[in-house]
Structure 1
Amino acid sequence: MTDNYLNVHIEGGVAVLTLNRPDKLNAMDASTRVRLAQTIRRFGTGDVVRGIVLTGTGRAFSAGEDLQTVPTTYPEIRDAFATFHDITRAILETRVPVIAAVNGIAVGGASEITLCCDLRIATPAAEYYQPENHRGIIISNASSFLLGRLVGNNAMRIILGSERIDADEALKIGLVDEIVPAERLLGRAAEVIGQWNPDPRITALHLDLLRPRTEDIEDAFARENKAAREAWASGAFTEGIESFWISKNAAASPTTSN
């Protein structure tokens, strides 16, 4: 089943949700984020599947926010943040394991979505990149809490330096849990779900015990929302996006010489 930029496929008791906009590196607009959260909740009850796998089509997991539809007012920023946050909520509310199958580069909000998943399996082509600090944008998805929970002090250089983290380094610092060949990615994710969820009743209870607490997640959301409001008020958000498009357009323009 295809829902615009989101494909849904069920096989062997596993729901595979695939971001499918390869021409835009699977960038997500607001409607795709809303549908993703809804779909995760639909399958997250455990009534139909034993687990959920989230992945992307082509060479990217996802480029995150679609900067061609970037918010132009603070209410739009607030609403955009809400759709990102709700994906985190949806994943953490499920009664089945949720695995991020990171097939390629994961940028910004998309990389942050993987942080609340119960496991991150990557291919050698996987790469994490959170450029927000260099673009005037604030991190979201409770990543201000979740990233440090996974990688400790490495969170500072990942965010403040906007460093690109390749698959090998991501494995070394705990950002991903396993690297497998691309052709094994979805099969391995399904295999883990089968191993982890032999009894849905008990697995759901353990997921609740092992996942981050709701109050910690909601506190992170509130702090991120406050920071986003301040970034907008200072002009940093608008300036960062304008700078991004200037540099992107300059790179796309042919060079001429006399």
Structure 2
Amino acid sequence: MEYKTILVEKRDGIATITLNRPEKLNAVNVDMRLEFLNALDELEIDDNVRVVIVTGAGRAFCAGADISTFESDPARIRRNLVNLKREPRRILSFEKPIIGAVNGVAAGEGSQWLLQFDLMVASEKATIAWPATSLGMACPYGMIRLASEVGRFRAKEALMTSKFLTAEEAYQWGLVSKVVPHEKLMDAAIELADQIKRMPPISIRTIKEAVNRGLEGYEYTYQAAVNQQLSDDFKEGVQA
């Protein structure tokens, strides 16, 4: 399948998805969101693919949603958020392990995607943040997933302050498996993928499903996101 905003490469049982809008720091627009989900559909039914790596082109992993494409019409906001609602469920239900290879800044929607992945390896240049608070809203599913990963106090600190974590801080918080020199990032991700792909697929699927159970509270955060994007605070935050 041809894609405009991502690249998909398959080799030796490992598929690599590269977010490919480097001029926009790989910010997510409607096309990228749909293409990423479509790529997961394609890779899930490919029996030759055992593990997926996701990384970014250029100096960013993903700087978040492309705010230049944000809508002001309430009906369109709700429609866009339906796709946003689908994202975490689709990533979490993907039967094969996904490794995030964080090559630079990961923020907003990009950092929320990382929370749905199974493992993360970070470049020493990586930074990770959930800055939606500064735009007058809260991360619709980052709130739940981040708290489950790092604990509620650290999650509140990251979300309430829009703090950017360095790669080392993300490692200390337990978000990433390892931090490596920037030029060794893909080597480290592929090495990890090689180890996983040798395991029986049924065992990997069972582990992933069991560990990922627990999206309680997601419906609340989704509705909160709808309300916030309709608010004057959100409109002022985007325009600032």
TM-score range, shorter chain: over 0.9
Q: In the TM superposition, what whole-angstrom CA distance separates every residue of 1:130-151 from its partner, at most 9, and x where no partner exists?
A: 22111113313x2121101111
Q: Is the 8 A contact 1:231 1:237 kept in 2?
A: yes
CA 1:99–1:85: 2 relative to 1, 3 Å: farther
Q: Which residue of 1 aligns with 2:235?
A: 238
Superposed, which structure 2 residues align to 1:164-203 within 5 Å?
164-197=164-197, 198-203=199-204
Superposed, which structure 2 residues align to 1:79-90 within 5 Å?
79-90=79-90
Q: Percent identity?
A: 31
Q: 1:115 and 2:115 equivalent?
A: yes
Offset, 1:88:
1.8
Q: Which residue of 1 aligns with 2:72?
A: 72
Offset, 1:235:
1.5
**Whole-angstrom CA distance in 2 between matches of 1:86 and 1:188:** 30
Any gaps of 5 or more consecutive residues in structure 1? Answer: 244-258
Offset, 1:123:
0.2
- Across the aligned residues of Structure 1 and Structure 2, the Cα RMSD in angstroms comes to 1.7
SS at match of 1:121: strand
Q: Which residue of 1 aligns with 2:147?
A: 148
Offset, 1:233:
4.3
SS at match of 2:116: coil
Superposed, which structure 2 residues align to 1:45-64 within 5 Å?
45=45, 47-64=47-64
Equivalent residues, number: 238
AA matched with 2:27: A
SS at match of 1:139: coil
Offset, 1:2:
5.5
Offset, 1:190:
2.1
SS at match of 2:18: strand
SS at match of 1:3: coil
Offset, 1:239:
1.4
Offset, 1:170:
0.8
Q: Which has the larger radius of gyration?
A: 1
Any gaps of 5 or more consecutive residues in structure 2? Answer: none
AA matched with 1:115: L
Q: Which residue of 2 aligns with 1:252?
A: none
TM-score (norm 1): 0.86
Runs of 4+ off more than 4 Å? none
Q: Is the 8 A contact 2:133 2:159 kept in 1?
A: yes
